[in-house]
Amino acid sequence: MVDAKEVAVSILAECDSLPVQNASTMRAVRKKYSSLLKESQGDFVIQIARELKQTGRFRWIGYELILANKAAFKCLDAGEAEELGQGINSWWTVDSFARTISGPAWLAGLIPDELILKWANSPEHWWRRAALVSTVALNVRSHGGMGDVPRTLQICRLLVGDKQDMVVKAMSWALRELVVHDPQAVEAFLDEHEKVLAGRVKREVRNKLKSGLKNPKGVKK
């Protein structure tokens, strides 16, 4: 019987053997394995994701395997989600985790608000970014987000004065995704926190409010 570690090793080997290694070609490998694992138990798929995470390579493939497998996704809870996020240490590891695991799980009610609030209060800036990026799932319509002003702004208020660059950029992203649902609430938030918000956040979010774009053509970045 094949175990999770063997599957993870096989995935890595296929990715390493690709003539051209990019997101598109590696995602094709992921889709192949999602198809092969379609009838697998959820905890088995999660274990594969754990194995990939532990290698320090292509953890995002493991995250996508979980999201694409209904049984695995339903297994997510606060403990499982936080374990899958251990070791996030770059914008791409944080964003793949928050956009694929924690955000969708939060949207689906599988993990509680308290977990995201915990991350927002973390001394580690990558977890604070994860809290903000997790709000994106609440608001992106193409992925099922219906707009959640209270929860999005709750996280933003906790981090409104955070000047760490990765957190500032995530704050802008979180607020810009909320604009399409409630521009008045976003405008009020900017006005309320005018004195403490980073210039980037105010500029990019106000650009979004006025033009629908973060950086309209002709506007200085």
Give CATH 1.25.10.90 domain extents, the chain.
88-221
- The whole-chain average pLDDT of the chain stands at 94
Q: Which residues contact 97 (CB under 8 A, 6 or more apart)?
A: 59, 63, 84, 85, 88, 130
Confidence check: pLDDT of 126 > 50: yes
Axis crossing angle, helix 59-68 with helix 78-85, rounded to the nearest 10: 150
- CATH tag, 88-221: 1.25.10.90
Residue 190: how many other CB atoms lie within 10 Å: 16
One-character DSSP codes across 47-98: HHHHHHHHHTS-HHHHHHHHHH-HHHHHT--HHHHHHHHTT--SHHHHHHHI
Residue 142: phi, psi to the nearest 5? Answer: -65, -15
Q: What is the mean pLDDT of residues 87-104?
A: 96
Place 221 in a pLDDT band, splitting at 50, 70 and 90.
Answer: very low
Q: What is the mean pLDDT of residues 51-75?
A: 95
Query: Which of 156, 148, 145, 140 has the alpha carbon at shortest distance from 189?
Result: 156
pLDDT at 199: 96
Three-class SS of residue 40?
A: coil
